[in-house]
Structures are given as structure tokens and as C-alpha cells.
Structure 1
């Protein structure tokens, strides 16, 4: 299970709620659990929104995945890797895991298979979006990011 997804799910699970204010979400991460400073909790919240794990419903944060499928392991505490920037393909994999009930390993295999179907002529991110679309995921939130990455490459490279 994706660590960022577990961190994003924890405040909702802890409060047994389907929505939380930004303040309440960050309070759980920083003061209740003492996992991180409040400014870091804000950055983690922003990363979870950017990865489409959380979204806004009015002024409230809501999970963008099925909370009933999330089990927080006993004694779970995020590692330092939660704070590193994720690649585009990692965001695509996290989106598929969050929305389609697949695990990261199976998702990666599906994306690799899709890329092989195109004889490796498409970037892995494009194969990821195609896989996500086939699985019924809404790819709109990541489409522009992939488009920018694919078409910002130097046209002189082969």
C-alpha cells in the first residue's frame, strides 16, 4: 500500500469521518500523532491533493479513494521517504491503486505490459495513463502533467 495514501487516510480513520477540515486533518498528523510539524503536515496534505488522493468538497477535505479498503497497520509511522517528491509515474500508479483496488506491483506490471504492446514506442507515463483509463480511472487530473513531460523533451534527442 502506498505510504502517502496511508498517511492521508489516517486522520479520517482516526476520527471515523468521511470529511475533515484542513485544520483538523493537519492537527491529527502533527499534534495527535506527533508524526510531523504543522508546516510539514501542510506539505503532506498538499502532496496528497496533488497526487489526487484527497480532494475538496466545499471547504472540507475528503478522500478520493475507498476508505473501507484501507487498513492502517498497527504501529504505522511514516518514513522519511514520504517527504520526497514523487515522479509522474509514481503518481499514476498511486492513482490506480487508490481508485481501482489494484496493488502497486500488479499496477506496475500492467503498465509495463501496456508499454510492451506499443513496442516501447510510448513513454512509461503514457502507458500508465492508458492503463488507468482502461481500468476506469479519471485521468484528467494527471493528463496535463504527462502531456507537459512528454512534449517538453528536447526534440533533437532520439
Structure 2
């Protein structure tokens, strides 16, 4: 979530639907002093890989509704902004919210599925999808990223 807030901030603050790459980097690195220029470019790259923005011909365009993102007062991105998104973790959080349990309990149930139903021969992402299906939790939007984690293919 922090990456999305970080990416939304320049668009919301500058009231723009798209901006030049240099403006985006300038906002993060020099205007807000949240990071250095290399880190700002890394944020842009991560956002593009995550499908949050489109970068073409020097123009950055958000691929999500920027107006729907709330930027907390005094927001400053932490080091977690550079972490790659973990679709398995996101799915565990969704399942936990749907069944009103702690994420740790959902992980324990995933481990039980892996050990008891698949003799330890199932990856965590696949186990999370199985639990999501059992509980009727939406997971299709995470499928491409989960598939990468399960198969190791991009």
C-alpha cells in the first residue's frame, strides 16, 4: 500500500492526470526530499512493474484511480516501498479479513493443507489459492503474480 500512496502523491499534490518522468522524480527526490534520485527512479520502475503506472515517451500516467488514494497527513514512505509486492501475503490478508481470523491462523491453516493434503509438495501461493476458493474469497486479480511465484516463470 505504501508504494501506491507514494506513487499517488505527486499526481494528487500537483493536480495532474499525467506528468513528465522528470517531474515525478523531482517531486519524490527534491521537492519532498523523501529519497534520492536513484531511489525515486527505482520507485517508478517498481510501480511500472506492479502495473500502477504506464511510462511512455517520458510521460508517467497512473493506471489506478489516484483520487481514491488517501495520503495520510505527514506521510513519508518508508523502506518497505522498495519491497516487491507479495501477492501471497495480500491473499492471506484477504482470507483473514473474510473469515475474521488473524493472518497467522490463516498461514497455519495453509501449512496444514500443504502438509496433510499434499504431503508437503505444494507451494504457499497455491495453498493460499485453495483456501481462498474454500472461503469464497476473490483471488483472480492476484493470479498472474501468484503464478510467477508458484512456477518461477515470468
TM-score bin, normalised by smaller chain = 0.5 to 0.7
Does the C-alpha gap of structure 1 residues 125 and 54 become closer, same or farther in structure 2, counting only changes over 3 Å?
Answer: farther
Q: Which runs of 5+ in 2 are unaligned?
A: 99-105
Distance (Å, rounded) in 2 between the aligned partners of 1:69 and 1:105? 21
C-alpha RMSD of matched pairs (Å):
3.4
Please give the TM-score of this superposition, normalised by the length of structure 1: 0.64
Does the Cα contact within 8 Å between 2:43 and 2:82 map onto a contact in 1?
yes
For residue 105 of structure 1, report the CA deviation from its aligned partner.
Answer: 4.8
Q: Which runs of 5+ in 1 are unaligned?
A: 97-103, 153-158
For residue 85 of structure 1, report the CA deviation from its aligned partner.
Answer: 3.7
For residues 60-79 of structure 1, the C-alpha deviation after alignment (integer angstroms, 9 at most, x for no partner) is 22222211211211111111
For residue 22 of structure 1, report the CA deviation from its aligned partner.
Answer: 1.3
Does the C-alpha gap of structure 1 residues 107 and 31 become closer, same or farther in structure 2, counting only changes over 3 Å?
Answer: farther
For residues 26-82 of structure 1, the C-alpha deviation after alignment (integer angstroms, 9 at most, x for no partner) is 110001101100001001111111222222365422222211211211111111222
Aligned to 1:14: 13
1:2-151 to 2 correspondence within 5 Å? Answer: 2-56=1-55, 59-90=58-89, 93=90, 105-106=93-94, 109-110=97-98, 123-126=123-126, 127=129, 131-133=138-140, 137=141, 143=144, 145-151=145-151
